[in-house]
Chain A
Amino acid sequence: MSDFQDALSAAFALVAGQDPALAEIVGLSLRVSLMALALAALVGLPLGALLAVARFPGRHLIIVGMNALMGLPPVVAGLVIYLLLSRAGPFGHFGLLFTPSAMVIAQAVLIAPILAALTREVLEGMWEEYREQLHSFGVSSWRAVPTLLRDGRLALVTVLLAGFGRASAEVGAVMVVGGNIEGFTRVMTTAIALETSKGDLPLALGLGMVLMAIVLAVNGAAHLLRERVARMSG
């Protein structure tokens, strides 16, 4: 048990000490994951909605492929993006490798399929209810997409949280494409991996507790937001 007590006191020391390095790492973690979430949402939500309403040949293939991509191992995604962004790769001249932007791209690639697949699930149910009505007003399936996204926004908050959770918990991809550079691309998860490999297990676990607290806070905030929106529109 003493391991966990050590970790707990390490976590408190980290937070109470207001370590500027920790604040920087936490800030970068949040910034990278939120930007990845935004980027993935721009693609994932409309795509999911489209798959919920539209019927076209190959739709099932896309759905199956998307569901499979939900299980994409982060380190594989990281490796592919590494090769694409490397100076020797096709997008090398942008110089994005080992920068926070590369980490945003990696996380966005990982969570976009999750957002799309879950959005489709959520909206398909709604679509069953809305279809008759919208069609009777002469609204086409395609134009119903924004409506569904707006009316399903409460359920979509949960979808976004699932994406954020995976993004902020991810280590394999951001380690490969970010390089875990101190003060530049080091985030919570890569810092935890680093302390683990240095054998400082209490500090690693302490950092893990800080990460959990942050994820908890984000979820709590989202929950409050949902409640509020639900009351206002209810």
Chain B
Amino acid sequence: MNAPLRALRSGRRALPAALAALLSPPVAAQRRAIILASTTSTEQTGLFGHILPIFTRQAGIVVRVVALGTGQALDVGRRGDADVVLVHDRAAEERFVAEGFGGPRRPVMYNDFVLVGPADDPAGIGGNADIAFALAQIAAARARFVSRGDRSGTHAAELRLWLAAGVDPARGRGTWYREVGQGMGPALNTAAAQNAYLIADRGSWIAFRNRQGMRVLVEGDRRLLNQYGVMLVSPQRHPHVRAADGQRFVDWITSAEGQGAIAGFRIGGEQLFFPNATEPGA
């Protein structure tokens, strides 16, 4: 018998068995878990790595964090793809609640934004206490400025600050104003490579490693406050939301215990986030 015909007879059992073995179901047993849509600033600083194991030990609920920009994280909540949202853009959060996608919004913690720039500070703004004035100086000097440009909480804060400075940065597009459309880390990497200024949340800045001589030039203006809020995604809108477990997380992170865990998170002795769940109007 010739080769092709012989192959035709035995070929039937060749592949399928090996492939079937590989297709066994992924990952171990089902655990109680919720999905938390949050921001890069909370995940990449290591805050969640510090506080979530404490919650999981107590509640027996694993928290799976998807780290995105605030705008994207809220969209994930709107589509029902997360159980809880923890972000930092109060106006956008209140819109989310008003639209009926979740809530009520609870304040969790704050830190602040900083204006970071190259060591030689070409716009001469270092040590300025007025963030709006500093931004106006950057625009006047047409010094390079990197914007997140990604609807994140930091991007929203930056746009509010430009408004306060009376500058429309969009007019600097293509020359000195550069929107990278990416997370805090890539924006910091870009600014470091281009000797540009940018607004960063302090947590990401402290945790960032590739500074290339960049330093904090403006800080402490009260308009640089960075407030975080938490919301359960509405189980009325999305019936599959793990409401009980999600609510348990919301209650925990705003409780004395969760707040203590947040205050206990430090990098090099420096506290990154300041709990304020009980502060009225935060």
A interface with B by C-beta (< 8 Å): 28, 31-32, 34-35, 37-39, 41-42, 45, 86-89, 92-93, 95, 97-101, 104, 130, 133-134, 137, 139, 143-144, 146-147, 149-151, 153, 179-182, 184-185, 194, 196-201
Contact = CB atoms under 8 A, between A and B. Distances in A.
A88 B192 CA distance: 39
Most chain A beta-carbon neighbours within 10 Å: one of B7, B35, B209: B7
A146 B12 contact: yes
B213 interface: no
Given A133-B2, A182-B49, A199-B211, A149 B11 contact: yes
22 contacts: A32-B26, A38-B19, A42-B19, A87-B238, A98-B64, A98-B81, A100-B27, A133-B2, A137-B5, A146-B12, A149-B11, A151-B4, A153-B14, A182-B49, A197-B182, A198-B185, A198-B208, A198-B209, A199-B188, A199-B192, A199-B210, A199-B211
Given A98-B81, A182-B65, 19 more contacts: A28-B27, A31-B26, A35-B22, A35-B23, A45-B15, A88-B81, A133-B4, A134-B8, A144-B8, A146-B14, A149-B11, A151-B3, A151-B4, A153-B14, A180-B67, A181-B35, A197-B182, A198-B185, A199-B188
Contact of A35 (B26, B81, B182, B209): B26
Given A133-B2, A181-B64, A182-B49, A151 B26 contact: no
Contact of B207 (A45, A97, A198): A198
Contact of B66 (A35, A38, A180): A180
B81 A97 contact: yes
Given A88-B80, A146-B11, A197 B189 contact: yes
Interface of B: 2-5, 7-8, 10-12, 14-15, 19, 22-23, 26-27, 35, 40, 44, 49, 64-67, 78-81, 182-186, 188-189, 192, 207-211, 238, 240
Contact of B240 (A95, A134, A197, A199): A95
Contacts of B192: 199
A31 B64 CA distance: 20
Most chain B beta-carbon neighbours within 10 Å: one of A88, A144, A146: A146
A63 B12 CA distance: 26
B85 to A, nearest CB: 14
A92 B80 contact: yes
Given A87-B81, A147-B4, A180-B66, A199 B208 contact: yes
A198 B200 CA distance: 13
A171 to B, nearest CB: 13
Given A39-B23, A199-B209, A143 B8 contact: yes
Given A98-B35, A180-B67, A197-B40, A150 B14 contact: yes
A197 B44 contact: yes
A214 B56 CA distance: 33
Smallest CB-CB A-B distances: 7 pairs: A197-B185, A199-B210, A87-B80, A150-B11, A179-B66, A146-B11, A199-B209
